Amino acid sequence: MSAAICIRGARVIDPASGEDSVRDLFIRDGLIAGAPETPPDGAVTLEGAGLVASPGFIDLHAHLREPGFEDKESIETGTAAAAAGGFTTVCAMPNTSPAIDSAAVVEFIARRAREAGPVRVLAFGAVSKGRAGLELTDMEELARAGVVGFTDDGSPVATGRLMQAALLYAGELGLPVMDHCEDHSITAGLGINEGPTASRLGLAGYPSAGEESIIARDIALLSLVGGRFHAAHVSTAGGVEMIRAAKRRGLAVTAEVTPHHLTMTDEWALGAGAATAGVAAPLTAAAYDARAKVSPPLRSAADRDALAEGLRDGTLDAVATDHAPHTFGDKAVPFDEAAVGLSGLETAFGSLMSLVRVGALDLPALIARLTVGPASVLGERFAGLASLAVGSPADVVLFDPDERWEVDASRFASKGKNTPLDGLTLQGRVKATIAGGEIAFGGPAR
């Protein structure tokens, strides 16, 4: 049984209820509790003065790599990274080996997650067997095993016909289809946004249309057959506009955006500092920075700003990390050959706080997009994970919105040290993470 916990005198922000007030927050028997008449024996006290307490963050999109790619990450290290980043729930993507395409793999992941600790791991099942894009998985079997949605992430749902069937079947099961919207016939081999930075580096660019054409396809199919479509890691201004229009039409579309697409641009491929040096500055040895290679690619400043506006106005329901840990060797190759993705769980919150400081959205709204937003994508049965109401599961994060800290990837809990933020300073730091009433990160000893 977990100990009782009291977080004393924190600013409690609970977007589910609209609360924003300074008070004590109590946890008992794994649940949010009301104020006790006398402090329970053995209660742990966390000093909250100057800190913010909110529901733990929910990540709709993380690559935990197990089974199959434990050299990059394991469920144990991935959930430790989640806890360090303030996440109490992470959704595991199915581009594992084997893929999450059978009940056996779903059950394996659930067992490994229980062994790893209190952070909740929810699995997305694959849309197609082996993620090969040919034949639908047994979605009913996967739903019974507990998946929270379907995706072939890492790859798009390969054809319109398959997406149509997936929306129909998953819709019957009440689950969303998350699509990695990318037309491989346009984007194969392209690792950087089409634009001046790609030209400067002499690299062929991945156009926005390579993403938007599939968002358009999926919206058209959604209006044809129903179901629920969730757009993964939207990265373009045009994509935001299409989703905004589809929502206005009342379609069951939701969308997520990553911290990196909200805070970085394609110029990060020029290497740290180069983005501010101006276009006339010569390329340095830091150029072709493969740590800034992600899929979809980092886009232009105009795209980045449209994403922030989409997040603010609710077109984009959730921030999701697309945490994509890779080994050193996966990235220590020419830019064109490097693996896509960055290790994002531990820097997400510090990165996102920059949006609050520039006034793109306020702190309660940011927390909402990390809690109630993703919970609503998962469905009503997960609402309690994004609430501080008495009786809800005690998933709580305690953070300092102002603390400055230097990113040192070598000290990440994640095996993935691949981030262009390494060595840079972020402002906003997670101090403690409580999942299911257990301290998963930080706490009194720190």
Please give the positions annotated as active site.
322
Contact 125, 101 (CB under 8 A): yes
Candidate residues 154, 207, 416, 436; the one interacting with ligand DOR per rule CB under 6 A = 154
> Smallest distance, Å, CB 297 to ligand DOR?
9
φ/ψ bin of 35: left (φ > 0), alpha (ψ from -120 to 50), beta (otherwise): beta
Q: Is 179 in the site for ligand DOR (CB under 6 A)?
A: no
Residues 182 and 156: beta-carbon distance below 8 Å: yes
- Going by C-alpha positions, the residue among 319, 323, 328, 320 that lies closest to residue 343 is 323
Q: Are strands 52-55 and 120-123 parallel, antiparallel or unpaired?
A: unpaired
- Rounded CA-CA distance 90/436 in Å is 13
Q: Residue 153, interface with ligand DOR (CB under 6 A)?
A: yes
Q: How far is the CB of 306 from ligand DOR (least distance, A)?
A: 20
Closest to ligand DOR by CB, 33 or 62? 62
Q: Which of 177, 307, 324, 394 binds ligand DOR (CB under 6 A)?
A: 324
Task: Name every residue whose Cβ is closer than 8 Å to that of residue 245 and which is 6 or more positions away in sequence.
Answer: none
Measured from the CB atom, is 158 or 340 closer to ligand DOR? 340
Residues in contact with ligand DOR, counted by CB under 6 A, come to a total of: 11
Minimum CB distance to ligand DOR smaller for 23 or for 184: 184
66 near ligand DOR, judged by CB under 6 A? no
> Is residue 180 within the footprint of ligand DOR (CB under 6 A)?
yes
Residue 95 binds to ligand DOR (criterion: CB under 6 A): yes
Query: Which residue's Cβ lies closest to ligand DOR?
Result: 341
Query: Between residue 255 and residue 274, which ones bind ligand DOR under the rule CB under 6 A?
Result: none
- The angle subtended at Cα 89 by Cα 83 and Cα 95, nearest 5°, is 100
Choose between 28 and 65: whose C-beta lies nearer to ligand DOR. Answer: 65
Q: Which is nearer to ligand DOR, 155 or 392 (CB)?
A: 155
User: Cα(19)–Cα(11) distance, rounded to whole angstroms?
Assistant: 10
Asked whether position 80 contacts ligand DOR by CB under 6 A, the answer is no
We find the least distance from the C-beta atom of residue 51 to ligand DOR, in angstroms, to be 32
Token digits of residue 242: 């299409």
By beta-carbon proximity to ligand DOR, the closer residue of 342 and 394 is 342
Nearest approach, Cβ of residue 63 and ligand DOR (Å): 5
- What b/e readout covers 83-106, taking b as 16+ CB neighbours within 10 angstroms? bbbbbbbbbbbbbbeebbbbbebb
Sequence length of the chain is 446
Residue-wise over 284-304: b if at least 16 C-beta within 10 A, else e?
Answer: eeeebbbbbbbbbbbbbeebb
CA–CA gap between residue 229 and residue 252 (Å, rounded): 6
CB 174 to ligand DOR: min, Å: 25
Say whether residue 341 binds ligand DOR (CB under 6 A): yes
Q: At closest approach, how far in Å is the CB of 295 from ligand DOR? A: 4
Chain contacts with ligand DOR (rule: CB under 6 A): 63, 95, 153-154, 180, 294-295, 322, 324, 340-341
